Chain A
């Protein structure tokens, strides 16, 4: 009987110890993504508070996913036009980013602080994939990382068409990300 208990304990302990060695994955479902494409006096900007993101501490792999319909505009009509005429959200309901934090090894998740982070990956919007490289920041507070970053994309690169692009709507949209992860 004793030996059974012993080996059972062994299993439990190895399991626990192996778990701590396994890759830590940080995740959030409530990240924020801001988008600003104001071309003239009218503000064409929206926020999405339901960004789904995960990244692996060991591999540096990072993914972001958003539902296009989750973008909130100040003006309902603008939101409808964004979905129907520009993003065609019934056809392309999601946008995502899959890439790497290139310098993940330089970030110490056990120590609070701000670390610059280099992102490199593929951004898919409106069904079109484009390479994106940008510099952001990883801030660690009590073991929990916060990723912030900003970059611009050319709207026409993603096959998005519309009369007002280049006029009321800027040619380039600024995208800002702010994600607080749980571990």
Chain B
């Protein structure tokens, strides 16, 4: 009998619970769902200045990029402080997937062709999971088609290739500050003498500081661990200006080249001697393939 009484109490309790349940207040219901929050916009462009940033081109987006470098300020008034001289790189980057970008380019400097592939290995996240930084890997290959002065050695085609491997570790600390480290290995298929190694290690350090919603100041420095004699560490300072459809990057740098081999290992200018080159990058993004969410939408 005691059990029956007990069951009746349970029954009443249940009844009262259901009674409350009859009018759930949706407004006061707390939504405690934790959503993954992938951090975006660590840098404003896929390049900091010369070097790759952690940013990828969006999936299905083709990014047309013109990078232009004037000559050094130290050339004096005869060359209008470097403005008479110019080198450029014209490139196309395409987002095969949201985390995979491929690109090709041609530089007038040393008549180079280059191609690269950039994969986002780890995305910085907040919310559901906390991952304080993102990691990307960039592999690039460069072909120097400039004809060498005739020597006794007739180079093979393969001799003109060099390769770069880069790991990019970046963190957007807040909306105002991002920091990036990029350990890099550049391999030359052919070097000038047997004494010179083929592989060159370096460490890149880059940053972005927000000045206003549309203006960010960037810096990029590569510390060369293995040095090629006669060259300097590249240091660049820039301003990223966002306009509607594109990002303008204006900068001063002591390097002229725009490929990993040339700007990291073969920067001949020195800040101390005033070998500063003014330059700019302009990009325009074209949507080639719409994201699948938008394919069947009628606006």
Contact = CB atoms under 8 A, between A and B. Distances in A.
Given A23-B24, A84-B213, A52 B31 contact: yes
Nearest to B214: A85
Contact of B37 (A65, A93, A164, A168): A93
Interface string A55-84: 110110111010101001111111111011
Interface in B15-37: 15, 18-19, 21-27, 29, 31, 33, 35, 37
Contacts of B40: 69, 80, 83-84
B293 A25 contact: no
A3 B18 CA distance: 24
A75 B285 contact: yes
A42 to B, nearest CB: 7
Nearest to A67: B35
- Tell me whether chain A's interface is mostly helix, strand or loop, or mixed: mixed
A63 B244 CA distance: 33
A11 B11 contact: yes
Nearest to A69: B37
Contact of B291 (A25, A74, A80): A74
B11 A85 contact: no
Nearest to A80: B41
B242 interface: yes
Given A34-B299, A49-B293, A93-B37, A76 B213 contact: no
A19 interface: yes
- Residue among B15, B285, B294 with the highest chain A CB neighbour number at 10 A: B294
Interface string A33-60: 0101000001101110100101110110
B229 interface: no
A10 interface: yes
- If over half of B's interface residues share one DSSP class (helix, strand or loop), that class is named, otherwise mixed; here it is loop
Nearest to A11: B11
B283 to A, nearest CB: 9
Nearest to B57: A76
A63 B213 CA distance: 32
B27 A47 contact: no
B86 interface: no
A182 interface: no
Interface of B: 3-4, 7-8, 10-11, 14-15, 18-19, 21-27, 29, 31, 33, 35, 37-38, 40-41, 44, 57-59, 61, 95, 174-175, 213-214, 242, 244-247, 285, 287, 290-291, 293-294, 297, 299
26 contacts: A7-B4, A7-B8, A7-B11, A8-B7, A11-B7, A11-B11, A18-B15, A18-B18, A22-B18, A22-B22, A34-B297, A34-B299, A49-B293, A59-B26, A63-B26, A65-B31, A72-B291, A75-B61, A76-B58, A76-B285, A77-B285, A80-B40, A84-B41, A85-B213, A85-B242, A98-B27
